[in-house]
Amino acid sequence: MKLKRGFTIFVFLVVVLLISLSIFVVPAGSVGVVTRFGAVSHVAQPGLGMKIPLVDSVHLMSVRTQKDEVSASAMSENLQVVTSTVAINYHLDGLYAVQVYQNIGTNYADIIIAPALQNTFKSVTAKFTAEELITNRESVRLEAEKELTDRLAPYHIIVENFNIVNFDFSPEFQAAIEAKQVAQQAVETSKQKLAQAEIDAQTLVTQAQGQADAQKAFNDSGALTPEYLQYLFLTQWNGVLPTVMTNSTSVFDVSGYVPDTSNQQ
């Protein structure tokens, strides 16, 4: 009786173990490539799945966006050594997970993506001078992104974004770039000062010409005659004689002037 009970418990445990080995779960954002004795059987979508214990194996492959970052070194068009850190955002096309698994394996990032990044960086960098790599950085990035997309498309790897994290050059070249920038800034400053000096000089010429033209207009019209100046003074005089007189004659002749007293009380 005890032997029978022990056998029953053993059978129950074996069944539970087999059931547990038959169940697998594919998480969201992944697909499962199911192999039977090493050969690809089918692709399992996210969720709960069944397999034959000890016969089938499940290999998970992510189809989510992934990031890879590598350090790369290359030569510019003018033979300057350029080192950089480049990064890529990508994802595997889930429809071709079986082909990628069969042809490359689950470690496709190390086998395909890393070398493609290196080769793309070298190829694109060689098309630009070192200065252009700095000044046309966005153009360099876009061209590298396009070339990398074309390189990875046959492997069913979709490039979402390519970034150049940094550009580093030799210390000598960095010093030469800084010296050139300082010189260019000095030239721009000199140009600005020269332009301002020309403006100031032209302003003085214009003012002097204006004064000369005004003086000539007055002289030609006779507007500055002694009679006109005396008239201007009298129209603004308050009736009080000045306290300063010359020895021979007064500053102006008021002998013929009779104040108007008709309005005085």
For residue 185, the model assigns a pLDDT of 65
pLDDT digits (tens, 9 = 90+) for 238-258: 666 655 555 555 545 555 544
> Residue 239, by phi and psi: left (phi above 0), alpha (psi -120 to 50) or beta?
left
Domain-terminating residue out of 169, 191, 219 = 169
Sign of CA dihedral 233, 237, 242, 245: positive
Co-location of 74 and 129 in the same domain? yes
Q: Is 33 exposed, middle or buried (0-12, 13-18, 19+ CB in 10 A)?
A: buried
For residue 261, the model assigns a pLDDT of 47
For residue 151, the model assigns a pLDDT of 94
How far apart CA 14 and CA 167 sit, in angstroms, is 61
pLDDT digits (tens, 9 = 90+) for 102-142: 899 888 888 999 899 999 999 999 999 888 888 888 999 99
Co-location of 105 and 138 in the same domain? yes
In degrees rounded to 5, what are phi and psi of residue 264?
-85, 145
Q: Is 199 a domain residue?
A: no
Q: Is 210 a domain residue?
A: no
For residue 188, the model assigns a pLDDT of 67
Co-location of 23 and 109 in the same domain? no
We report the CATH number of the domain holding residue 135 as 3.30.479.30
Residues spanned by the domain of 53: 2-62
**Pairing verdict, β 81-92 and 157-168:** antiparallel
* % the chain with pLDDT above 70: 71
What's the number of domains the chain is made of?
Answer: 2
**HSE toward the beta carbon, residue 26, CA cutoff 13 A:** 22
Whole-structure pTM value: 0.58
Domain-terminating residue out of 169, 191, 217 = 169
Name the token pair of 51. Answer: 């397999």
- Nearest one of 118, 4, 102, 21 to 69, comparing CA atoms: 118
For the ranges 101-105, 106-110, 158-162, 231-235, the lowest mean pLDDT is seen at 231-235
How far apart CA 194 and CA 230 sit, in angstroms, is 48
Name the token pair of 23. Answer: 């169940």
pLDDT digits (tens, 9 = 90+) for 185-225: 656 676 777 777 778 778 777 777 766 665 666 566 655 55
Interacting residues of 133 by C-beta distance below 8 A, sequence separation 6+? 76, 82, 125, 140, 167
